[in-house]
Amino acid sequence: MHLGFEIAFLATSFFGSCLSRSTGSPLCNITLTQMTTFMTGSNRSLNFGLAKQEISNGIQVTVGNPNPATYKGLLLWTNIGSFAAPPTDSGFRYVNFTKCPASVTHANAVLKTNPANFVWIPPPTTSNYTVEFRAVVVYNRTNWQFLDPLVTNFTIPTVVNQPQPQPTPTPSPSAGISISPSYAKMLMCILFVVAINGI
Ligand SMILES: *[C@@H]1O[C@H](CO)[C@@H](O)[C@H](O)[C@H]1NC(C)=O
Ligand SMILES: *[C@@H]1O[C@H](CO)[C@@H](O)[C@H](O)[C@H]1NC(C)=O
Ligand SMILES: *[C@@H]1O[C@H](CO)[C@@H](O)[C@H](O)[C@H]1NC(C)=O
Ligand SMILES: *[C@@H]1O[C@H](CO)[C@@H](O)[C@H](O)[C@H]1NC(C)=O
Ligand SMILES: *[C@@H]1O[C@H](CO)[C@@H](O)[C@H](O)[C@H]1NC(C)=O
Ligand SMILES: *[C@@H]1O[C@H](CO)[C@@H](O)[C@H](O)[C@H]1NC(C)=O
């Protein structure tokens, strides 16, 4: 199937910046209203969900689907802490580590397969946190899903007295994603109007 794309210009300078952004979300987070406005279509079940597993230095968050399912776009964010840097070859990246270290998005147009694992790192202070993971998975403009939020109370392990690991903006091969990419030529920009021709 051949798909041709043309990124439409949007009136505001803010979203105009997406002209150069076929590779992920410029926003740290997004609402259902924004998605409905910027994409066509509506929130629907693509059977994706969020799951978690506590690990030694935080929480591993999984964006998964019980069935084999591919998608192009992802925005995953939380209210606190940060994500470990997605490896450069994972197909994911920080939105902007300085601005929102707890937001990751897709980095390229390659189809993503599930599951994708991300490592959330708690803030470097000793406390207990309520962490809310939220995500949008985009298959295409009209088919996308707001995942049910994953809310969890994270308890700092009492045995841990050493400093928490600090995230860095430099992608680390050991940090937290396992992705097996398949290949597609579709460009996806999760947040913008993308005019699709030739379908
Ligand atoms: C969304 O991201 C902005 C930064 O762009 C931040 O100020 C705000 O707190 C975030 N909101 C949520 C609900 O995460
Ligand atoms: C989006 O749709 C999914 C799947 O039907 C549903 O679980 C989720 O609650 C919806 N989210 C919103 C914000 O409507
Ligand atoms: C990331 O966010 C910071 C702080 O808001 C901003 O100064 C910087 O220009 C942003 N970087 C990019 C590449 O947008
Ligand atoms: C965090 O929660 C655990 C379990 O409820 C508790 O034992 C611990 O004292 C709490 N720590 C802080 C800093 O509140
Ligand atoms: C999105 O994918 C669905 C399912 O394959 C298809 O029916 C629909 O036409 C596609 N929409 C766009 C805008 O490509
Ligand atoms: C988190 O802790 C708060 C305060 O103890 C409690 O009200 C809430 O139900 C907890 N949430 C979860 C998901 O366990």
The pLDDT tens digits for 57-66 are 899 999 999 9
Q: Where are the domains of the chain?
A: 4-197
* 46 torsion bin: left (phi>0), alpha (psi -120 to 50), beta (else): alpha
Question: Going by CA atoms, what residue is nearest to atom 2 of ligand 3?
Answer: 99
What pLDDT shows up at residue 114? 92
Sequence letter at residue 62? T
Contact 121, 81 (CB under 8 A): yes
The reported pLDDT for the residue numbered 159 is: 53
pTM of the model: 0.79
Residues 6+ apart with CB under 8 A from 99: 28
CB atoms within 10 A of CB 72: 23
pLDDT given at position 30: 95
For residue 55, give both structure tokens: 């690990």
Residue to mutate (ligand 3; options 29, 95, 96; most atoms within 8 A of CB): 96
pLDDT at site 156:
76
The pLDDT tens digits for 64-123 are 999 999 999 999 999 999 999 999 899 999 999 999 999 999 999 899 999 999 999 999
Asked if residue 36 has pLDDT above 80, the reply is yes
Pocket around ligand 3: residues whose beta carbon is below 6 Å from it? 96, 98-99
